[in-house]
Amino acid sequence: MIEYIFRIIKMPFDLSIKTAEKLLPYSTKNYICNSFVFDMYSKNYFRLKFLNWKIENKFHIMPSDMTVHWISTYNCNFRCKHCEASAGDKRVSELSTDEICNLITELSRMKIKKIVIGGGECLLRKDIFIIIGHILKMGLEYEIESNSYLVSNFKEEFRNMKPRTYFTSIDGLENTNDEIRRPGAFRKTFEALEYFKSIDVETRIVNTVVIPDNIGQLPELREIIMKSAATFWRFAIPINSGRAKDDDKLYLNDGQIKYLFDFIEESRKKFAVGISEDAGYLGPLSMKLRSVPFFCGAGITRCTILPNGEVLACQLDYDDKYSEGNIRNKSFKEIWRTGFSRFRNPQLEEGECQNCEHYNSCRGGCLGMRIGNRHCYKHIWGNNGNNGNNGNNGNNGK
């Protein structure tokens, strides 16, 4: 009853956020609206979202957009060179069917509505559809991340237990993609997208990790993606973790980053595309490269549970040392209520971030990128994105 009354009281605040989010894409096309909405809202989006969480947390109310990301396994049938999880190489004591089903029951009691299932490759878990069945039984929605290679083996299961969103990856044209991922992966990925379209899964996302080996292929790949069953094309930059850790051959130089930003801005006129949150706050480019402003919800509106039960604010570093607790030792509710202080009360070291005029919009950017000191692209988007232009095409610096 208290929560119901609270949500009624807070409704105008929630409505203002949702209304502005709908207006923001339009604002990029209208100078007057853009000047007002961007300056008055986009720059303060992080602060407003954080304030919204503080109000809810004060009354012990779960964020309405709370998402739990479950890394179901490190087992994988691919060995992608940029994989931040080192999937296929790691071995841990994974949560059992009973342990994960008990967790899902707890999430339901906490009024959490959504779980994202990832990996590794989640379809390698023999109990995955038992678990998905329990997710749906408990009233949660699920999104699934898969490399698509095994989807054709489980068509009937997916037809009976449809995900809200299907998320998969393409990392270049066919030869490049299959060299990075696995022979046949390119074809199987587009077949999986077609299948999920045929069973009316509304959102079908293709993720591309942009590296020097594939950045020059983006224009040709765009034509293929646009003709496919994908509904959204997401771009990511390698995280300095897992197999990608300290491998300079996987990272774009400033000219290539600038090219990527320009490519995304141009592509948004033709198709639904955007850059991932990993790239952090992007200043005047924010609404040119995304549909909503940057907000890192790690430990605030989302968290990750690793295969061994460790709970992290975000999965991007896949390292137990960032754990807030293990669901084998504590309830998820206790971990959520008492942990994550470094995200909820951030104390950045004295230096460039604290003294930056964009701090309230950025809050230090993406944690995973901060770990590798790749979290800030201000030198590129500064002065309206005109800096960092040391190359005018995707092949620069290869």
Structure confidence at residue 368 as a pLDDT band (50, 70, 90) = confident
**To 5 degrees, how large is the angle CA 191–CA 74–CA 251?**
75
Span of 142-156, 292-306, 323-337 with lowest mean pLDDT: 292-306
pLDDT at res. 49: 84
Amino acid at 228: S
User: Does residue 396 have a pLDDT over 50?
Assistant: no
Within 141-182, strands assigned E span 141-145, 165-169
Rounded distance between C-alpha atoms, residue 206 and residue 227, angstroms:
13
Residue 333, both tokens: 């509710």
Sign for the pseudo-dihedral over CA of 94, 99, 100, 101: positive
Note the pTM of the prediction, 2 decimals: 0.87
pLDDT at 58: 81
Q: Is the pLDDT of residue 197 over 60?
A: yes
Q: Check residues 87 and 328 and name the one with the higher pLDDT.
A: 328
pLDDT higher than 80, residue 37: no
Write phi, then psi, for 174 (nearest 5 degrees). Answer: -55, -50
Kindly report the number of other CB atoms within 10 A of residue 352's CB atom: 12
Say yes or no to pLDDT of 362 above 80.
yes
Cα distances (Å, whole numbers) of residue 29 to 20, 183, 291:
15, 42, 13
Tell me the average pLDDT across 178-198: 98
| pLDDT, tens only, 81-94 | 998 888 887 788 99
> Which pLDDT belongs to residue 44?
77
Q: Which residues pair with 236 in a beta bridge?
A: 209
Which tokens go with 380?
């590129």
* Model confidence at 385: pLDDT above 70: no
pLDDT at 178: 98
* Mean pLDDT computed over 261-285: 93
Q: Is the pLDDT of residue 10 over 90?
A: no
Q: Are 225 and 233 in contact (CB under 8 A)?
A: yes
* pLDDT over threshold 60, residue 319: yes
Residue among 56, 186, 69 at smallest CA distance from 120: 69
Class of residue 328 by CB neighbours under 10 A (exposed 0-12, middle 13-18, buried 19+): exposed
Helices and strands: H and E segment counts in the chain: 16, 9
